[in-house]
Chains A and B, each alone.
Chain A
Amino acid sequence: MATTPTYPKEHYLNHDFGIKSWLLTKDHKRIGILYLLSITLFFFVGGFFAVLIRLNLLTPDGALVTADTYNKLFTMHGIMMVFFFLVPSIPATLGNFVLPLALGAKDVAFPKINLLSWYIFVAGGAMTLWAVMTGGVDTGWTFYVPFSTSYAQSNVILAAMGIFVAGFSSILTGLNFIVTIHRMRAPGLTWFRLPLFVWATYATALIQVLGTPVIAITLLLVGLERGLHIGVFDPKWGGDPVLFQHMFWFYSHPAVYIMILPGMGVMSELISTFSRKPVFGYKFVAFSSLAIAVFGFIVWAHHLFVAGISVYSAMVFSFLSFAVAIPSAIKTFNWTATLYKGAISFRTPMLYAFGFLGLFTIGGLTGLFMAALGTDIHIHDTYFVIAHFHYIMVGGMVMAYIGGLHYWWPKISGRMYPEPWGKLSALIIFLGFNLTFFPQFILGYLGMPRRYHTYPPEWQVLHVLSSAGASILGVGYLLPMIYLLWSLKYGEVAGDNPWGATGLEWQTASPPPAHNFVEMPVVNEEAYDYSKEREAAFV
């Protein structure tokens, strides 16, 4: 206790040297870092498109870019962010790095497949980037037919094939995690002693394995229809355009839970660690993740309420959409209750957790407006939807991701990030985010349609506010990238467990040795047992 932490002599980063030691690594920690680098690239590519979108919308007549360019910008923003940032974000980076450590394992169950999944991801990403650089794609990230099959003049097949390929990476990662969680837990680490981050990762992996094949089939059919006119989707050739929407959303609705569930898992870790308490209602939080994964598969048609589906099927899907909201509400209440009688410290990860709590609450509640059939008639396909899902995806998931990155950064790098800068970034992102997306709720109810290059002049003020917020948000995202890199060299040495946290990952060195643990850990306590004071230079 209270000794100055020292940087370990040998660890996974200096275990081996040279480019080859990274590109052929089977170490889950190094693969996590490879993913971190690649998704950061995709995040900034997607973010760059977002900047251009917001700049263009400063004026009602869309003075910056042409209509075709604008359509490509929002399409590529969506494709990059959804398929190449949000879906892999927490599972493939933090999940890869933390999961085996949290289980007390040496690695994931299939280390070679883990490396393969990164290569597949990079191949898919490269194909899509190639499609972007050779003219782009303008179908919207949703690839709605018959526009994508018969009318779009852009690189549809190449972009769709990039997503098709990247999907296999997602399936393999999910499979790897499921087997790892079943087979590689340390002695004594029973299911109900698992950290909730592991439960969330498990639920996510189930969706990845079961859902991703459907989008693969769907995109393959789009390619075949476009190239060979097989007549599945386009009514001109005897197909059914609404069939595509059913197939697309059968994956893409569960996929939003691929994107948010891991964030919820991170949230449980942060709230517990910085309140020095177990997560309130552990089993409810754990099972709500599984409930979301299961119910998430039977709500897809709420994306089709105004697409001419039968009124009775609309009612069924509306009912189920309300039902899937309940597990999220349960989680939110439990996180809030975890704070009760805690010993709360406001370190950077906790500020991000508070940000998540606020933004996810708004994002979740505004989802009810779309689940309710009556209000969906009006707000479907408007900025209201845009605002809602950005509150979940960016306000929720990205907050959790950056919060988790700060939380595990000492474990990943062995060094602390600079605390004042971390707090500043959390504040800037929170403020910038709200200024960007809150006006879009108002725009949406006014009727501003999605994917419009130009708009009626009376809506300019709200658009300008949104663009101003986006510039603040952009600064907020650049900051962590700069100071986290800085901290690799200049950050304070972290020590094994700078937070005095309970998970197994904190019981080994920071950064951990190549094989994670010197001795195999044995678990003989419940999750989040803060009843005994843990050694920590923790304030």
Chain B
Amino acid sequence: MWFNVPLFPERASTLANQVDYLYFFIVLNTVFFSAIVFSVAALFAMKYRRSKHPKAEQIHGSMILEIGWSVLPFMIAMVMFAWGAVVFFDYSRPPANAMEIYGIGKQWMWKFEHVEGQREINQLHVPVGRDVRIILTSQDVIHDFAVPAFRLKGDVIPGRYTSVWFRATQTGTYRLFCDQYCGTLHAGMVGDVTVMDPAAYQEWLSGSGQGSLSQQGEKLFIQLGCVTCHRSDIQGRGPVLAGVFGSQVHLADGRTVTADESYIRESIMFSSAKIVAGFPNIMPSFQGQISEDGLIQLISYIKSLKPQPGAPANAPAAPGAKPPGK
């Protein structure tokens, strides 16, 4: 077992390079400043030991030194701060055209759902060289999606969606961990991320038997009766949903919010939390009736609805039409 002891992690994403370069920079500074403190302390300890230097000189301080060793470390720290902020900014802003995969954490497993309909547990297959965004939520406690080879990590929080993104640079299999303590089998909430050639990934995707996520979502949309109010042909009692995803929604209380995954989730689970301007508060809450999987399917379906020409999404009501619900 003494052979092949890894001392540095594999590097398999674009983020990994960015994080590592910053890491090396800070390591360099750490070594430099430790070396200064240690060697100066050792030198003084040798040179001014009592047996050799019995009478201490009463020195009280030096303003120049104080200013120097406050300002210089501060400036170096600001370089680290700015550099770290740039990397973090990149990490926090997924590219607009990233492919999306949904992930659900639960005690003690990971479930991933591909838009094409493939589902997997404790396994995640992704293509190499493409931006991938994982949209994450938890069914119970807080988890954390962490792939060390990608230098990537993000908390997975119940009741909301968070996301992480990466672009894998190397095919292979990498370890996936839960990094936020989540109970008994926390250490068992691990899996593999398999990075594949795009062609192999396409082939792997086609193995699904049950239709795409949005198709499954459409079924649910009809089954739950959403379709009776949220109509696509004419203005129903609820807003038209085509094109709503990613748009700015005007609320009855005057605020404007972006319709992202968390907003849609909230509108389904706590339907009276944010009322769209011009619509009555009549939608029932679906809390307890839809699973996290179901929510993902519905969101995927709503995302797939493109705005219809001539029928702007989100208009409270078409001109001349009766105000809804009155």
* Chain A residues at the B interface, C-beta cutoff of 8 Å: 62, 67-68, 71, 138, 140, 144, 146-147, 150-152, 234-236, 238, 241-242, 275-278, 280-284, 305-308, 311, 314-315, 318-319, 322-323, 325-326, 329-330, 332-334, 336-337, 339-346, 354, 357-358, 361-362, 365-366, 368-369, 371-378, 380-382, 442, 445-447, 449-456, 458-462, 529-531, 539
Contacting pair B160 A308 (CB below 8 A) = yes
User: Which residues on the A side are within 8 Å of B50 (C-beta)?
Assistant: 276, 343-345, 539
Find B186's partner among A146, A235, A345, A452 (CB 8 Å cutoff). Answer: A452
**Does B199 reach chain A (CB closer than 8 Å)?**
no
CA–CA, A277 to B55, complex, Å?
A: 10
Question: Max chain B CB contacts within 10 Å: which of A71, A306, A330?
Answer: A306
Q: Is B77 in contact with A322, judged by CB distance below 8 angstroms?
A: yes
Q: In B1-38, which residues have CB < 8 Å from any A CB?
A: 1-2, 4-9, 15, 18-19, 22-23, 26, 29-30, 33-34, 37-38
Q: In the complex the two chains form, what is the Cα distance from A123 to B144 in whole Å?
A: 36
Q: Which of B7, B41, B78 contacts A354 (CB 8 A)?
A: B41
Give bound CA distance, A34 to B63, whole Å.
43
- In the bound complex, what is the Cα–Cα distance between A452 and B19 (angstroms)? 24
Residue pair B23, A451 in contact (C-beta under 8 Å): no
Contact surface of B with A, Cβ cutoff 8 Å: 1-2, 4-9, 15, 18-19, 22-23, 26, 29-30, 33-34, 37-38, 40-41, 44-45, 48-50, 53-62, 65-66, 69-70, 73-74, 77-78, 80-81, 83-89, 91-93, 107, 140-142, 144, 146, 148-149, 151-155, 157-160, 162, 175, 177-188, 270
For B90, give the chain A residue with the smallest CB separation.
A374
Q: How far is the CB of B90 from chain A (nearest CB, A)?
A: 9
CA distance A325 to B141 in the complex (A): 33
Q: Are B48 and A447 in contact (CB under 8 A)?
A: no
| A445: B residues at CB distance < 8 A | 8-9, 23
Q: 4 new A-B pairs (CB below 8 Å) besides A144-B180, A374-B19?
A: A325-B77, A372-B83, A373-B88, A378-B19
Inter-chain contacts of A539 with B (CB < 8 A)? 50
Interface centre among B19, B56, B149, B160 (most CB of A within 10 A): B56
Q: Find chain B residues with CB under 8 A from A455 CB.
A: 187
Cα distance A385–B164 in the bound complex, in angstroms: 21
CB contacts (< 8 Å) of B87 on chain A: these are 373-375, 377
Q: Say yes or no: A151 contacts B157, CB within 8 Å.
A: no
Instruction: Tell me which residues across on chain B come within 8 A of A371, comparing CB atoms.
Output: 77, 80-81, 84
The interface residues of chain A lying within 8 Å CB-to-CB of B270 are 238
B40: nearest chain-A partner, CB-CB = A336
Question: In the assembled complex, how far is the CB of residue A312 from the closest CB belonging to chain B, in whole angstroms?
Answer: 10
Smallest beta-carbon distance B187→chain A, Å: 4
Alpha-carbon gap, A362 to B49, bound state (A)? 25
Of the residues A152, A315, A343, A377, contact of B54 by C-beta under 8 Å: A343
Q: Which of B22, B40, B157, B187 contacts A372 (CB 8 A)?
A: B22
| Contact call B181/A450, Cβ cutoff below 8 A | yes
Q: Which of B55, B61, B158, B187 contacts A453 (CB 8 A)?
A: B187
Cβ–Cβ contact A365 & B80, under 8 A? no
CB pair A311–B74 under 8 Å, yes or no, is no
Q: Among A278, A305, A346, A452, find the residue whose CB has the most chain B CB atoms closer than 10 A.
A: A452
**CA of A318 to CA of B88, assembled, Å:** 11
Measured between beta carbons, the chain B residues less than 8 angstroms from A461 are: 1-2, 5
- Chain B residues near A456: list those with CB within 8 A: 175
Min CB gap B269→A, angstroms? 9
What are the residues of chain A within 8 A of B80 when measuring CB–CB?
Answer: 322, 368, 371-372
CB contacts (< 8 Å) of B73 on chain A: these are 325-326, 329
- Residues A277 and B59 in contact, CB atoms below 8 Å apart: yes
A71 to B84 Cα, complex, angstroms? 33
| CA of A2 to CA of B102, assembled, Å | 79
Q: How many A-B residue pairs have CB under 8 A?
A: 289
Residues of A within 8 A of B148 (CB): 378, 446-447
**Whole-angstrom distance between the alpha carbons of A314 and B93 in the complex?**
14
Docked complex Cα distance between A332 and B69 (Å): 10
Residues of A within 8 A of B59 (CB): 277-278, 280, 340-341
Closest B residue to A280 by CB, please name it: B61
Q: Contacts A71-B184, A330-B70; is A343 near B48 (CB within 8 Å)?
A: yes
- Kindly name the residue among A67, A277, A282, A375 whose own CB sees the greatest number of chain B CB atoms within 10 A: A375
Partner of B18, one of A283, A336, A374: A374
Whether the pair A374, B44 counts as a contact (CB closer than 8 A) is: no
Q: List 6 A-B contacts (CB under 8 A).
A: A67-B186, A71-B184, A322-B81, A343-B48, A374-B84, A449-B187
Q: Report whether A343 and B151 are in contact in the complex, using a CB–CB cutoff of 8 Å.
A: no
A447 touches B146 (CB 8 A): yes
**Contact yes or no, B140 A311, CB < 8 A:** no
Given A71-B184, A343-B53, the answer on whether A318 and B160 have CB atoms closer than 8 Å is no
Closest to A283 in B: B61
- Per the bound structure, the CA–CA distance linking A529 and B181 in Å amounts to 52
- The answer to whether B85 and A146 have CB atoms under 8 Å apart is no
Question: Inside 8 A of A339's CB, which chain B residues have their CB?
Answer: 41, 44-45, 48
Contact between B88 and A377, CB atoms less than 8 A apart: yes
Give Cα A365 to B37, complex, Å: 12
Q: A330-B69, A446-B8 are in contact. Are A314 and B41 (CB under 8 A)?
A: no
| Known A71-B186, A322-B77; contact A275-B56, beta-carbon cutoff 8 A | yes
- Neighbour of B91 across the interface among A140, A343, A377, CB < 8 A: A377
Kindly report which residue of chain A lies nearest to residue B144, judged by CB atoms: A381
Closest to B84 in A: A372
Residue of A nearest to B38 (CB): A358
Chain A residues, CB < 8 A from B5: 458, 461-462
Q: How far is the CA of A305 from the CA of B55 in the complex (A)?
A: 51
Which listed residue, B8, B56, B140, touches A342 by the CB 8 Å rule?
A: B56
Cβ contact within 8 Å between B177 and A341: no
* CB of B74, distance to nearest CB on chain A (Å): 5
- Given A354-B41, A362-B34 in contact, is the A151-B140 Cβ separation under 8 Å? yes
Q: Which residues of A contact B183 (CB under 8 A)?
A: 71, 138, 147, 151-152
Task: Determine which of B66, B107, B142, B184 lies in contact with A144 in the assembled complex, contact meaning CB atoms within 8 Å.
Answer: B142
Closest approach, in angstroms, between the C-beta of B156 and any C-beta of chain A?
A: 9
User: What residues of A have a CB within 8 angstroms of the CB of B146 in the complex?
Assistant: 381, 447, 449
Nearest A residue to B33, CB-CB: A365
Knowing A151-B183, A277-B57, A377-B151 are in contact, say whether A354-B45 is a contact too (CB < 8 A): yes
- With a cutoff of 8 Å between Cβ atoms, the chain A residues found around residue B154 in the complex are 306, 308
State A292–B177 Cα separation when bound (angstroms): 35
Provide the bound-state CA to CA distance between A376 and B2, in Å: 30
Please list the 4 inter-chain residue pairs (A to B) with the smallest Cβ-Cβ separation, ordered nearest first.
Answer: A447-B148, A235-B159, A374-B87, A372-B84
B162 touches A308 (CB 8 A): yes
Residue contact A344 to B34, C-beta cutoff 8 Å? no
Contact A315-B85, Cβ < 8 Å, known A329-B73, A362-B34, A378-B19: yes
Q: CB distance A241 to B37 under 8 Å? A: no
